[in-house]
Structure 1
Amino acid sequence: MGEPEQKRDYRGYAIGILVTFVFAVIAGQIAALPFFSIMGIMILSILLGALWGNIVALPKSLNIGLGTNFSSKFLLRAGIILLGFRLNFADISSAGPSILIIDALVISFTMIFILSLGKAFQIDRNLAMLLAAGTAICGAAAIVAIAPIIQNKKEQTAIAVSCIAVLGTIGAVLFIFLFPYLPLNESEFGMLVGATLHELAHVVAASVPGGDAGSETAILVKLGRVILLIPVALIISFFMNRKERAHQETDRKLPIPWFIFGFLFVSLINTFQLVPEKITEVLLLLSTYLLAMGMVGLGINIKYADFVKVGIKPIGVAVIGFLGLLAITPVLLWIFRFFS
């Protein structure tokens, strides 16, 4: 009796992982189309997963949740580690202190502001933490990096990713539309885009009107925020562990975000150019699809009932948090101009 059960488990893993892979590939094809490129493969992946999860009801005997959960947990983390090949500390260092100062201010302000909003709106603190990390740092990648540290429910992680994905897409479209009317040069526009939008895909798409100068500045500023994911995750882990020791008499340990160290290690490898460029390109493509498969897995866990349960408040917190970040852009512009 035990052997058939084991086989069924393997089948569940295989089918679930295959489902996430197929939808990730479909999302990649859709993302290559006009307009949908603004949304990017990550957002499209989670949307496709959410549609599948709410419309299609597969027999429970298939147990595909084993595979989709594997994608949303392990493959997603593997994708984050390989994402380190996008980072080159030398490029960010050569850009001067303004980028890291701006990024540090953006992350500090946004985290504190959204966590305060979460408290004022009386939403779950973990959900507020995820919304803050997604807005402040790097969208879905930050959310899924922080979620295991705070032992968050998968439903809340999926809801946070969805909120940030939609907001970032709207923000990207608005920036593209507003570029001709903003009193900014191309580099300043790029800084504004890189400092405020959620996903790297949003930043890449929205910075196009700024030309090469705008795009390069936007990506550098955004990657600076990605770098700061490492200390932010470690700080959150430290405080959560301290709270655990202070308030609970238990031997249970909070998870240490080892994959963040993997991300840092890979970034250092890329900075010293220890891997040939062609191999790096392949690994970045692999990272994209691993992340997309993870997003599909998260999307499948999004249920309409979960949104009804949490209500409008988390969406309100995410929107107001993004507007608050936009409100400090005059300060960010002053810092950028001062060091330029």
Structure 2
Amino acid sequence: MQIPTTTLRGKPGLPDVSNGWRGLSRGIALTVILAVLAGQIAELPGFSIMGIMILSILAGVLWKSCMDVPHGATAGITFSSKFLLRIGIILMGLRLNLQQIAEAGFPVLAIDVIVIAFTLTIMIYLGGKLKVNKHLAILIAVGTAVCGAAAIVAVAPLIGAKKETTALSVACIAILGTIGSVAYIFLFPYMGMDSYLYGVFAGSTLHELAHVIAAAVPAGDTGGEAAIIVKLGRVALLIPAALILGYLYRDKDVQRNQEKNRLRSLPIPWFIFGFLAMSVVRTIHILPDSVVNAFIAVSIFLLSAAMAGLGLSIKWNDFKQIGNKAIMVAVIGFVALSALGQLLIDLFY
């Protein structure tokens, strides 16, 4: 049977890939434009407290709600929200000196472990009591406890969750995390914390690493570095948390598939190694400060474009389909986590 082909720039017999590249470039361009717009708005009086990243998320959400996205641009938006985010995070490692991680010591590790164990336990238990779909409750719980969408996507195949359930979980966490990060920024002056402790609080309680970075902006470099250190501790703990959840809740079919290829099934956040490599570069002073500062500026812009992509991926209608009980689990879990974060700071600091 002859396989039909289309034309590429008028040449017969070649597959047409131009539409795919156009869609990819449109999506990336849209996130970049929104990030630039957010940067301009962030310079205006009254908006600087929110920062370019939060404004980028809100710009994406507003665009999606009012105008939707260009045809075929989904691939480019996904590229920005995933790959540009990871590149931005890797370059953000240049902000950190590894000596600061050593100085953070036991309190950070203890807070991260307690936060994840507590949040997973209370949210999965509450989901069971309210008769929320088991997979939905688990994914919302791990997204809240560990690192948002990355944790959800990592755990979903381990427990055999459906794609629709995964998408709803990501939508729930993205919206709630965005609301939480904006609320933290406005509450920061009234929380009675110095910049470092606020960074620890944000890093231990917000969902996405991007939410943490954005929310820590008002606390300056000190708060931002503390927030990233604490949050990366939670990201690193994704591996044991996911393996435990996969063992406890995986379906039989999933278990058989995982046994065939154990390495690929491991939910390792590989970008963390790039982040740590950049931290090593900063620690041993390979690059001059001017180059480091330039790369940090690039990382902030890439993260802002990724935030715009995240906002463009949110549908308010999707959030409505989650159900009141699942939303209740997500909100109660986040509030409980925030309260726990305050208690842990009082306990360890």
Partner of residue 320, structure 2? 308
Q: Which amino acid aligns with 1:170?
A: A
Which sits farther off after the overlay, 284-293 or 186-195?
186-195
Is contact 1:130-1:147 (8 Å) kept?
Answer: yes
Partner of residue 225, structure 1? 230
Partner of residue 346, structure 2? 333
Partner of residue 16, structure 1? 27
How far does the alpha carbon of each residue in 1:150-196 deviate from its partner, in whole angstroms, 9 at most, with x for none? 356455424312211112222332342353xxxx7887677656654
Is contact 1:158-1:299 (8 Å) kept?
Answer: no
**Aligned to 1:238, which of 226, 243, 260?**
243
Equivalent runs, 1:75-224 vs 2, <5 Å: 75-123=84-132, 128=137, 131-132=140-141, 135-136=144-145, 142-151=147-156, 153-154=166-167, 156-179=169-192, 195-196=204-205, 199-205=212-218, 207=219, 216=222, 218-219=223-224, 221-224=226-229
Q: Which runs of 5+ in 1 are unaligned?
A: 209-214
Matches of 1:246 and 1:263, distance apart in 2: 36
Matches of 1:129 and 1:39, distance apart in 2: 31
Matches of 1:57 and 1:172, distance apart in 2: 28
Matches of 2:57 and 2:214, distance apart in 1: 14
Deviation at 1:89, TM superposition (A): 2.5
Which sits farther off after the overlay, 317-326 or 151-160?
151-160
* Equivalent residue pairs, number: 318
Q: Which amino acid aligns with 1:53?
A: K
Matches of 1:36 and 1:135, distance apart in 2: 27
Deviation at 1:72, TM superposition (A): 1.9
Is contact 2:54-2:214 (8 Å) kept?
Answer: no
Equivalent position SS for 1:38: coil
Q: Which amino acid aligns with 1:145?
A: A
Deviation at 1:274, TM superposition (A): 2.9
Matches of 2:49 and 2:124, distance apart in 1: 28
Deviation at 1:43, TM superposition (A): 2.3
Matches of 2:167 and 2:297, distance apart in 1: 26
Is contact 2:56-2:311 (8 Å) kept?
Answer: yes
Matches of 1:147 and 1:192, distance apart in 2: 22
Q: Which amino acid aligns with 2:18?
A: K
Q: Which amino acid aligns with 1:172?
A: I
Deviation at 1:300, TM superposition (A): 1.7
Calculate the TM-score normalised by the size of structure 2.
0.76
How far does the alpha carbon of each residue in 1:38-60 deviate from its partner, in whole angstroms, 9 at most, with x for none? 33322222221122122215663
**Aligned to 2:37, which of 11, 21, 26?**
26
Structural RMSD (CA)? 3.3
Matches of 1:271 and 1:107, distance apart in 2: 29
Q: Which runs of 5+ in 2 are unaligned?
A: 1-5, 10-15, 157-162
State percent identity of aligned pairs.
35
